[in-house]
Copies of this chain bind each other. A is one copy, B any other.
Amino acid sequence: MRPFADRLIEAVRDYGPLCVGIDPHPSLFPQLFGKPSAGAIAVWADGIIEQAAGEVACIKPQAAFFEIWGSAGMAALEHVCKTARDAGLLVILDAKRGDIGSTAKGYADAYLGENAACPCDALTVNPYMGLETLTPFVDTSAANGRGIAVLTRTSNPGAADIQELEVDGDPIYIRMAREFHAAGACLKGQTTSWSGMMLVAGATAPQEAREIRHAAPDNLLLVPGYGAQGAGAEQAVAGFVPVNGMLEGGVVNASRSVTFPQAAQTATTVESWSSSIHDAICLARDDLLKATRLSSI
Binding site for B on A (CB under 8 A): 23, 25, 27, 62, 64-65, 67-75, 77-78, 96-104, 106-107, 109-111, 117-118, 126-133, 151, 154-163, 165-167, 172, 176, 179
Q: Which of B129, B133, B159, B166 contacts A130 (CB 8 A)?
A: B159
Q: Considering residues A78, A110, A129, A163, which has the most beta carbons from chain B within 10 angstroms of its beta carbon? A: A129
CB contacts (< 8 Å) of A130 on chain B: these are 154, 156-163
Q: A78-B70, A96-B98, A126-B96 are in contact. Are A64 and B104 (CB under 8 A)?
A: yes
Q: List 12 A-B contacts (CB under 8 A).
A: A23-B103, A67-B106, A67-B110, A68-B109, A70-B118, A96-B98, A100-B154, A100-B156, A129-B158, A130-B160, A130-B162, A131-B161
A109 to B68, CA, bound (A): 6
Closest partner residue, chain B, to A161 (CB atom) = B130
Asked whether, in the complex, the Cβ of A100 is within 8 Å of the Cβ of B158, the reply is: yes
CB contacts (< 8 Å) of A68 on chain B: these are 106, 109-110, 117
Q: Which of B104, B118, B162 contacts A128 (CB 8 A)?
A: B162
Asked whether, in the complex, the Cβ of B167 is within 8 Å of the Cβ of A166, the reply is: yes
CB contacts (< 8 Å) of A97 on chain B: these are 64, 96
Q: A64-B99, A78-B71, A167-B166 are in contact. Are A128 and B110 (CB under 8 A)?
A: no
Given A70-B117, A130-B160, A162-B176, 15 more A-B residue pairs with CB atoms under 8 Å apart are A62-B99, A64-B97, A65-B103, A67-B118, A68-B110, A71-B71, A100-B155, A100-B158, A127-B161, A129-B154, A129-B163, A130-B159, A165-B167, A166-B167, A167-B167
Closest partner residue, chain B, to A67 (CB atom) = B110
Asked whether, in the complex, the Cβ of A156 is within 8 Å of the Cβ of B133, the reply is: yes
Asked whether, in the complex, the Cβ of A133 is within 8 Å of the Cβ of B162, the reply is: no
Question: Taking the nearest CB of chain B, how far is it from the CB of A275, in angstroms?
Answer: 27
CB contacts (< 8 Å) of A102 on chain B: these are 25, 27
Closest partner residue, chain B, to A109 (CB atom) = B68
A65 to B107, CA, bound (A): 8
CB contacts (< 8 Å) of A23 on chain B: these are 103
Closest partner residue, chain B, to A179 (CB atom) = B161
Asked whether, in the complex, the Cβ of A133 is within 8 Å of the Cβ of B158, the reply is: yes
CB contacts (< 8 Å) of A117 on chain B: these are 67-73
CB contacts (< 8 Å) of A158 on chain B: these are 100, 129-133
CB contacts (< 8 Å) of A133 on chain B: these are 156, 158
CB contacts (< 8 Å) of A25 on chain B: these are 102, 106
Asked whether, in the complex, the Cβ of A156 is within 8 Å of the Cβ of B67, the reply is: no
A75 to B74, CA, bound (A): 9
A26 to B51, CA, bound (A): 39
CB contacts (< 8 Å) of A109 on chain B: these are 68
Asked whether, in the complex, the Cβ of A172 is within 8 Å of the Cβ of B162, the reply is: yes
Q: Which of B62, B71, B103 contacts A72 (CB 8 A)?
A: B71
Closest partner residue, chain B, to A135 (CB atom) = B158
